[in-house]
C-alpha cells in the first residue's frame, strides 16, 4: 500500500511513518520542516529511506502534483490550543485549509483517509460541568468518560473548531464523492520522539523539565495541580491505526474516540511524583490560580467504540509512558538542548 503521512516529521506522524514502514508499506511524509524538532525526525526517517516532501500543506498546487496514494493519514496540525487565540490565520491555514487541500487530492485519486482529530472538539462548558468546580483543592475522582456523542456545539477553542470543521468537511466529501474515512478523536498522546516543549504535550514537558532540574508551574484551577487528563502512548495509537488500515476496505466512515482512558491518566501533581521518582529530581512548583478560558479540569476518554470495532484497548499506563519518554529524552539530550534553545 502506498501511504502519505502529512505532518510526517512531527511526533505523531514520524512514529506512524516508522511503524508503517515496518509493515512493508510504501510510506511517504509531507512536512514543511518549519519546526526545529521536525528536522531531527526528518533525519531519522531519511535513514529508514522514507521520503519527505518539503511542502506546506497550505500549498494546494504542489499537493495536487504529488503521485497517487492509496491512503492519506492526516497528522498535520497546529496543535497548541492557546496559540489559536494569538495566531488565528496560522491555525486555520494549517488545520482546516490543509485538510481541505488533502481532501481534494483524495477525491482526485480516490484515496482513503485517516484523520487524526482531537478531543478538543468537545464543548468546554460541558466538560467543565462534569467537575463543576473552579478551584480544584482536592483530588478528582475518575468517573465520567467522554464518548463520540458528547456535546460539540458550544465553544471549544479556535483550535478545536478547526478540527471539528475538518471532521465535518471529511463527512461532506464522503457523502458527495464516496470518500472512505476514519476519524480518530485523540486525547493527549505522548511517547518517544516528543520534544519536551510546551506545545508538544505536557507529559514530555514535565519529564524534560525534571531531567534539566528546572522548576515548573501549576497553572489554573487554583494552582493545585489536580486537573486530570488521560494519556495515550504513541505505540497504542499506532497499533490501532494498523488495525484500521487492515480493516479499512470493510470498516470505514467511522468517528472514534481514542485515549488512555482509565488505563492511563494522571493529574499534574501525580505526574510530578512519577517524574521525581524516575529522574531523582524534585522541582519547585509555582502556583498560578487564574484559569485560561480554554483550559479544562478533566478529560477521560470512553474507548468503548474502538474496543467494539477493533477489539483494541491501550496497553501502556502513565508510568510506562513517563519511562519511555525519559529514555528517549536522555538518549537525545544533547541534540534536544540545542533544539529547545
238 HSE (CA, 13 A, CB side): 21
Q: What global pTM score does this model have?
A: 0.96
Cβ atoms of 125 and 160 within 8 Å: the answer is no
Closest CA relative to residue 206, chosen from 298, 269, 131: 269
Degrees, nearest 5: CA angle 105-107-111: 80
Least-confidence region, from 132-136, 259-263, 305-309: 132-136
| Listed range (64-78, 126-140, 189-203, 303-317) with the worst mean pLDDT | 189-203
Kindly report the number of other CB atoms within 10 A of residue 174's CB atom: 17
Average pLDDT, the chain: 95
Instruction: Report the domain count for the chain.
Output: 1
> Taking the alpha carbons of 131, 132, 134, 135 in that order, is the dihedral positive or negative?
negative
User: Which domain does 178 fall in, by range?
Assistant: 2-339
**pLDDT per residue as tens digits for the range 279-298:** 999 999 999 999 999 999 99
Is residue 199's pLDDT more than 70? Answer: no
Count of helices and strands (H, E) across the chain: 14, 13
Confidence of residue 198 (pLDDT cuts 50, 70, 90): low
The predicted structure's pLDDT at residue 81: 86
Of 325 and 76, the one with more pLDDT:
325
pLDDT in tens, 208-242: 999 999 999 999 999 999 999 999 999 999 999 99
Strand positions, DSSP E, the chain:
2-6, 26-30, 51-53, 71-74, 112-118, 181-186, 188-190, 216-219, 228-233, 254-258, 265-267, 285-288, 298-299
Three-state DSSP state, 115: strand
Residue 268, all three cell numbers: 499534574
Segment 171-182 mean pLDDT? 98
CATH number at residue 305: 3.40.50.720
Dump pLDDT digits (tens) for 136-154: 999 998 889 999 999 999 9
Q: Residue 333: is its pLDDT beyond 70? A: yes
Express as a percent the part of the chain with pLDDT over 90.
85
Provide the 10 A C-beta neighbour count for residue 157: 22
pLDDT score at 264? 97
Output the pLDDT for position 201. 86
Buried residues in 268-289 as b, exposed as e (16+ CB within 10 A): bbebbebbeebbeeebeeeeee
Mean pLDDT on 77-105? 88
| Model confidence at 200: pLDDT above 80 | no
User: How much is the average pLDDT of 144-165?
Assistant: 97
Residue-wise pLDDT for 296-319, tens only, equals: 999 999 999 999 999 999 999 999
Among the residue ranges 15-24, 96-105, 246-255, 259-268, the one predicted with the least confidence is 15-24
Strand partners, 250: none
Amino acid at each position: 500500500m502506498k501511504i502519505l503521512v502529512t505532518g510526517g516529521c512531527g511526533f505523531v506522524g514520524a512514529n506512524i511513518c516508522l511503524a508503517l514502514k515496518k509493515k512493508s508499506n510504501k510510506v511517504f511524509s509531507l512536512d514543511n520542516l518549519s519546526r526545529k524538532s521536525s528536522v531531527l525526525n526528518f533525519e531519522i526517517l531519511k535513514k529508514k529511506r522514507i521520503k519527505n516532501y518539503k511542502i506546506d500543506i497550505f500549498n494546494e498546487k504542489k499537493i495536487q502534483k504529488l503521485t497517487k496514494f492509496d491512503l492519506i493519514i492526516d497528522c498535520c496540525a497546529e496543535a497548541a490550543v492557546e496559540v489559536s487565540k494569538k495566531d488565528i490565520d496560522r491555525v486555520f491555514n494549517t488545520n482546516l485549509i490543509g485538510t481541505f487541500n488533502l481532501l481534494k487530492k483524495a477525491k482526485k485519486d480516490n484515496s482513503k483517509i485517516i484523520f487524526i482529530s482531537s478531543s478538543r472538539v468537545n464543548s468546554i462548558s460541558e466538560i467543565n460541568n462534569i467537575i463543576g468546580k473552579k478551584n480544584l483543592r482536592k483530588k478528582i475522582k475518575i468517573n465520567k468518560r467522554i464518548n463520540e456523542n458528547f456535546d460539540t456545539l458550544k465553544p471549544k477553542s479556535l483550535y478545536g473548531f478547526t478540527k471539528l470543521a475538518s471532521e465535518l468537511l471529511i463527512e461532506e466529501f464522503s457523502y458527495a464523492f464516496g470518500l472512505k474515512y476514519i476519524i480518530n478523536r485523540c486525547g493527549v498522546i505522548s511517547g518517544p520522539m516528543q520534544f519536551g516543549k510546551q506545545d508538544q504535550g505536557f507529559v514530555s514537558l514535565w519529564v524534560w523539565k525534571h531531567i534539566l532540574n528546572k522548576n515548573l508551574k501549576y497553572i489554573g484551577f487554583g494552582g493545585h495541580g489536580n486537573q486530570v487528563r488521560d494519556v495515550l502512548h504513541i505505540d497504542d495509537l499506532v497499533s490501532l491505526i494498523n488495525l484500521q488500515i487492515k480493516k479499512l476496505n470493510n470498516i470505514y466512515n467511522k468517528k472514534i474516540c481514542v485515549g488512555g482512558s482509565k488505563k492511563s491518566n494522571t493529574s499534574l501533581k501525580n505526574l510530578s511524583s512519577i517524574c521525581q521518582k524516575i529522574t531523582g529530581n524534585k522541582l519547585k512548583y509555582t502556583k498560578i490560580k487564574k484559569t485560561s478560558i480554554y483550559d479544562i479540569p478533566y478529560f477521560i476518554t470512553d474507548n468503548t467504540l474502538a474496543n467494539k470495532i477493533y477489539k483494541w484497548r491501550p496497553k501502556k499506563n502513565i508510568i510506562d509512558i513517563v519511562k519511555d519518554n525519559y529514555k528517549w529524552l536522555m538518549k537525545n539530550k544533547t541534540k534536544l538542548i540545542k533544539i529547545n534553545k
